[in-house]
Amino acid sequence: MQNAWQIHFTRKNALESGHSSRVLVYGMCGRMCFMRDVWQRCFFRDFCYGGMRGIGMVVIMLFPILFPLIAGFFLLVMKEPKNRNVLVGIAGAALGIAGGSAVYALCRVRGQDAILFSLSKALPVYLKPDSLGILFAAVVTVVWVLAGFYSFSYMAPGQGERKEGEKRFYGFYLMVFGVLVGLCFSGNLITFYIFYEWMTLLSLPLVLHTRSREAVMAGLKYLFYSFCGAYMALLGLYFLYRYGRTLTFTAGGVLDETLVAGREGLLLVLALFMLLGFGVKAGMFPLHAWLPAAHPVAPAPASAVLSAIIVKAGVLGTVRVVYYMFGADFLRGTWVQTVWMVLALVTVFMGSMLAYRENVLKKRLAYSTVSQVSYILFGLSLLQPEAAEGALLHVVFHAFIKCGLFLAAGVMIHKTGKTRVDELRGIGKEMPVTVWCYTFASLALIGIPPASGFISKWYLAQGALRSGIPVFSWLGPVVLLVSALLTAGYLLPVTMRGFFPGTGYLKPEQEEGRRAVFFSVKKEASPLMLVPLMVLAVLAVALGIFPNPLTACIAEIVAGIV
C-alpha cells in the first residue's frame, strides 16, 4: 500500500531539481494530478485494488454495517407515524434485512479484506473478518435479532412509555447493531477502536431510555467509565504503533523484537493498561461499578443486549490485544498475567457474591454478568489452548443464556410490574412458559450437564489444571466451583419460589376477598416475546448437547493463536 500523496511530492521534487524547464508543464497538469491523487487516496484506489476480489465483496461486507446505521438514522429523523404498526413494520423490516444481510455476509466474507480510507499515515480503516470476528458477529446477529423482535412487543405503549421514545429506541438499537458488526469485522486496532467508541456512544441512549434521574446518572457513569477504559486502550495503541510492525491484527502478535528489546517493562505496563481498559466494558474488577448501575435501568431488551453482547466487545478487545497484538508468548509467565488472573478470579467471586446478596432481579442478573464475563477473562488469562477454547465457548453460551435470562426477567416485570425477587413468589403459576425458559437458562449458566455452561466450564477447569501455573492451576477451578454454587444460589430461588410459593402465598389475596385460582390468572406474554425467549432457552440447552460443530470451529481459531 503505497502512499499516493508522498509519491506525488517526491515526483514533483525530482522534477524541480532535475528538469527546471519542465516545471511549468508539470505545473499545468499538476493541479489535476493533485486532485486525482487526493481522491484516490481518500476513496477509490485502496477500495478497488486492495486485497478484494471485486467491488461486490466490499458491498457484501459493508452492507450489514452501513444498512443498520442508515436505517437507524432514518428512524431517528423520520416523522412519527400515526399508526404504531407502521413504525414496528419499518423497524422490523430493517432488523430483518440487517440480520439477513449479516448472515449472508458471514457466510461469504471469511478471509476477505478491504481498506475503506486512511485516517493518517499507516492508520487505515481496514476491515478483515477472520474466524474469530465471524464467530462474534454470528453471536451478535442471533442475539440482536431475537432481542429486537422481543422489543417490538415489550416497547409497546401502555407501559407509561411515550411513543416518541419507542422510535428512538429502535433507531439506536439498529445503529448499534451496525457498529457491532463493524467491530467484529475490524482488521486492525484503530478500526476496532473507532467502532468501539461509537458503540459506547450509540448504546448510551439505550441506557438513558427512561430519562429518569437514575437512568441519567447510570448513563453518565457508563459514559465516563467507558471513556476512561477507551483512553487506556488508546494509550496502548500509541505505543503499539511505535513498537509494533503493524496495527493489523496478526495471530501471534505484532511486536517488533528489535524495537522492543530493552523496553519489555514499559510494554508490559501498557499491556496491563489495555487489559484494564477493555476490562471496563467486560466489567472486570476494579472498573466494574458502571455495569450493575447501567444494565438494569435500560428497558429489558436493551439490558439483554448490553449484558449479552456489549460486554463481549470488551472481551473481543482483550482477545485482540492479547493474542493478536502483544502475542500470548510475550505475556506468558509475566507479572501482568498474574495480575490479570487475580483480577479475573476476584471478579468471578465478587460478582457472584454481590448477585447472591442482591434482591432486585435485573440487578442480580447484572452482577451475574460481572461474574460470568470474568470466567471468560480468566480463561483467556491462562494463555493456554483449552482454557482459551473454554473462554470462547463461554462467550457464545453466556451471550445466549444471559440474553434469555434478561428477556425472561423482562417478561416478568412487564406483566407483573414486580422487580424484586421476593415479590416474584408464585410467578411460575402465572407464567409457566417464561419461568421454564428462565429455569433452563439458569441451569445452563450454573453448568449442570448436559446444558451448555457445563461444556465451557469443563474446558476452563481443564485448561487451568493443565496450565501448570502454580497456585492458580488449582485455585481457578475451586473459585469457579464456588461461584457455580453461588450461581445456583442466586438464580434458582426465582424458579423455586415461582413454582412452590409456600403456604403463605395465598393469604394476601384471600384477605382482599378475591378467589385465588392460580390457573385462571395466567399472564403469559405475547408470542412475540415468548418465541425469542424459547429459542434462546433451547439454544442454551441444545448447544450443550450438540457442541461439536462449535467446539471444532473454536478449536481451529485457538490453534492459530495460542
Interacting residues with another protein (CB under 8 A): 5-6, 9, 12-13, 16, 23, 26-27, 30-31, 34, 38, 41-42, 117-121, 123, 193-194, 197-198, 201, 208, 211, 216, 219-220, 223-224, 227-228, 231-232, 234-235, 238-239, 241-242
Nearer to another protein, 279 or 463 (CB): 279
**202: Cα within 13 Å, side-chain hemisphere:** 23
Nearer to another protein, 30 or 432 (CB): 30
Task: Give the number of other Cβ atoms within 10 Å of residue 127's Cβ.
Answer: 27
Shortest distance (Å) from residue 42 CB to another protein: 5
Shortest distance (Å) from residue 236 CB to another protein: 11
Q: Which of 83, 88, 210 is closest to 528 using CA atoms?
A: 88
Q: Where are the beta strands (DSSP E) in 51-210?
A: 114-120, 123-127
What residue type is assigned to position 304 of the chain? A
The answer for residues whose C-beta is within 8 angstroms of residue 294's C-beta and 6 or more apart is 207, 218, 219, 221, 222, 306
Nearer to another protein, 223 or 339 (CB): 223
Nearer to another protein, 198 or 324 (CB): 198
Nearer to another protein, 211 or 522 (CB): 211
Q: Helical H runs in 320-384?
A: 328-331, 335-357, 361-381
Nearer to another protein, 107 or 119 (CB): 119
Label residue 85 exposed, middle or buried (CB < 10 Å: 0-12, 13-18, 19+): exposed
**Percent helix, strand and coil across the chain, each to the nearest 5:** 80, 5, 20
Residues 474, 480, 482, 484: what is their CA dihedral angle, to the nearest 10 degrees? -150
Shortest distance (Å) from residue 227 CB to another protein: 5
Nearer to another protein, 202 or 370 (CB): 202
Shortest distance (Å) from residue 145 CB to another protein: 27
Nearer to another protein, 220 or 353 (CB): 220
* Burial profile 489-526: b = 16 or more Cβ within 10 angstroms, e = fewer: ebbbbbbebbbebeeebeeeeeeeeeeeeeeeeeeebe
Q: Which of 97, 98, 75 is closest to 88 using CA atoms?
A: 75
Task: Give the number of other Cβ atoms within 10 Å of residue 354's Cβ.
Answer: 20
Shortest distance (Å) from residue 277 CB to another protein: 11
CA-CA distances (angstroms) from residue 418 to 141, 212, 361, 411, 412? 30, 18, 9, 10, 7
Shortest distance (Å) from residue 411 CB to another protein: 28
Nearer to another protein, 13 or 159 (CB): 13
SS3 label, residue 130: coil
Concatenate the DSSP letters of all residues of 434-495 into one string.
Answer: HHHHHHHHHHHHHT-TTSHHHHHHHHHHHHHHHH--TTHHHHHHHHHHHHHHHHHHHHHHHH
Query: 157, 166 in Cβ contact below 8 A?
Result: yes
Shortest distance (Å) from residue 449 CB to another protein: 45
CA-CA distances (angstroms) from residue 59 to 112, 133, 331, 488? 12, 18, 38, 46
Nearer to another protein, 183 or 328 (CB): 183
DSSP secondary structure code for residue 336 in this structure:
H
Shortest distance (Å) from residue 242 CB to another protein: 5
Q: Which residue has the cell 478487545?
A: 317
Shortest distance (Å) from residue 43 CB to another protein: 9
Q: What whole-number distance in Å separates Cα of residue 475 and Cα of residue 469? A: 10
Nearer to another protein, 13 or 85 (CB): 13
Shortest distance (Å) from residue 78 CB to another protein: 13
Shortest distance (Å) from residue 116 CB to another protein: 10
Nearer to another protein, 6 or 510 (CB): 6
Nearer to another protein, 32 or 517 (CB): 32
What residue type is assigned to position 126 of the chain? Y
Task: Give the number of other Cβ atoms within 10 Å of residue 83's Cβ.
Answer: 8
> What is the maximum alpha-carbon separation in the chain?
106
Supply 511's cell numbers.
384477605
Shortest distance (Å) from residue 371 CB to another protein: 27
Nearer to another protein, 125 or 540 (CB): 125
Supply 190's cell numbers.
484503530
